[in-house]
Structure 1
Amino acid sequence: MKKILLIIIVFTILSTTLLKLDLLDRETAKSLDSACMLMDEQPDSSLNILLSINPSDIKSEYLQAQYALYLTQAKHYNHINENSDSLISFAVDFYDANKSSNPIQRMLGHYYSGIINANARKYSDAITDLIKAGQLAESQNQYLWLGRAQSEIARIYNKMSAFSEAAAYDSLACQAFRTSGDTVSLQLQTLRVCLNLNQIKH
């Protein structure tokens, strides 16, 4: 009888704990959805929502990866230049291990990993990440992100004074932006191609 009572008590405690964790993850999921919706138009509000989340409360690996990706993205949108990949690397590893379920998130993970590695002057790692992001973007017909990845590679080559390579990637970015219909990005890239050509001549 005592053994049965003990089992019931343990089961009740576990059930209550799991319910609390489930509720916490549901609230986190709602906050992450809100942050995602605000990312483009109100990145400061998106960042505030993400900063209000206690990462230690997130038990689901899927939500942990989403949190890591969105927080990295929100910081980038708010012009906060990160040079540590400790956060985004979790998202990259998770999405690489679950390739088929989250192709867009996987692409974004490699893109922002590339940005951070570039900030840290790990240019070889950055280019590798950005090439991967571009491949994933193209496979999903995400030509805006393909152009962005190629544009960032061009920036890196410019920093390395490899102007011919930079101009080549700027031209590729122009093609991607033209396909995406993003005329503003296309105009900026076209200008950069001209600037790079002038640097090559001199």
Structure 2
Amino acid sequence: MHKFKVQLYITFFLLLLLVACNHNSRQIKYIIEQAKSCMDEYPDSALLLLQDIAFPQILRGKERADYALLYTQACDKNYMTPVNDSLIRIAVDYYGASKSMDASLSYFYLGCVNWNKGSNVEAIYAFLKSLDVFPSHSENRLFMQIHIYLGECYNWEGLYQDAKEHYFLAYQEALHRNDTLCIIRCVD
């Protein structure tokens, strides 16, 4: 009888743990979706939402990659880009093999982190990889940003012709999108 009670308690505890984990997983997915939806207009709110995730180190798979990408993106948009690439590499490792917007964003932010830590060659590689995995026929401002950052990196390295090419590509895309802010940045 005593053995049966112990087994019953263990079963109950495991069931309770399973329900709690499932609820927590849904809550984390919700927070990640909310952070994604407000990232462009309210990156400070996205950062606060992501900081509400209590133990991000226990996340796995897509949730972990999404968290790593979104947290790095939110930090960058709030002018707090880290100089350590360990977080964004989680997203690069997860999405890197696909030709998707998430893969392109992951490599783009890896480039931003490398640029901020002064590793221009690594930044150029990451930005070029971001272009390589950028989905064809995608209408996204990221395409311009990649070319602007490549122009900056090449300019910094003294490769002025390469810089000019990427500034021009960003300028053409800005004209196509009627993005006056980007046009100004390209010709500045």
| TM-score, normalising length: structure 1 | 0.82
Secondary structure of the 2:141 match is: helix
Deviation at 1:44, TM superposition (A): 1.2
Aligned residue number for residue 108 of structure 2:
111
1:154 aligns with 2:155: no
Aligned residue number for residue 85 of structure 1:
85
Q: Structure 1: how far apart are the matches of 2:42 and 2:33?
A: 14
Aligned residue number for residue 134 of structure 2:
137
Aligned residue number for residue 163 of structure 2:
166
Deviation at 1:121, TM superposition (A): 1.6
1:15 aligns with 2:15: yes
Q: Structure 2: how far apart are the matches of 1:141 and 1:47?
A: 26
Q: Which runs of 5+ in 1 are unaligned?
A: 193-202
Q: Structure 2: how far apart are the matches of 1:170 and 1:75?
A: 25
1:109 partner letter: S
Q: Structure 2: how far apart are the matches of 1:175 and 1:9?
A: 67
Deviation at 1:58, TM superposition (A): 4.5
2:165 partner letter: A
Q: Structure 1: how far apart are the matches of 2:171 and 2:104?
A: 20
Q: Structure 2: how far apart are the matches of 1:49 and 1:141?
A: 28
State the Cα RMSD in Å.
2.3
Q: Structure 2: how far apart are the matches of 1:81 and 1:149?
A: 16
Instruction: Tell me the number of residue pairs that the alignment of Structure 1 and Structure 2 aligns.
Output: 188
Report if the CA contact (8 A) 2:91-2:106 is conserved: yes
Deviation at 1:170, TM superposition (A): 0.6
Aligned residue number for residue 195 of structure 1:
none
Q: Structure 2: how far apart are the matches of 1:142 and 1:88?
A: 24
Structure 1 stretches of 4+ with a deviation exceeding 6 A read: 1-5
Aligned-pair identity in percent equals 27
Aligned residue number for residue 49 of structure 2:
49
1:93-108 paired onto structure 2 within 5 Å? 93-96=93-96, 99=98, 103-108=100-105
Q: Which runs of 5+ in 2 are unaligned?
A: none
1:44 partner letter: D
Deviations 1:146-200 (A, max 9, x none): 11111101111122222222112111211232334423212321x13xxxxxxxx
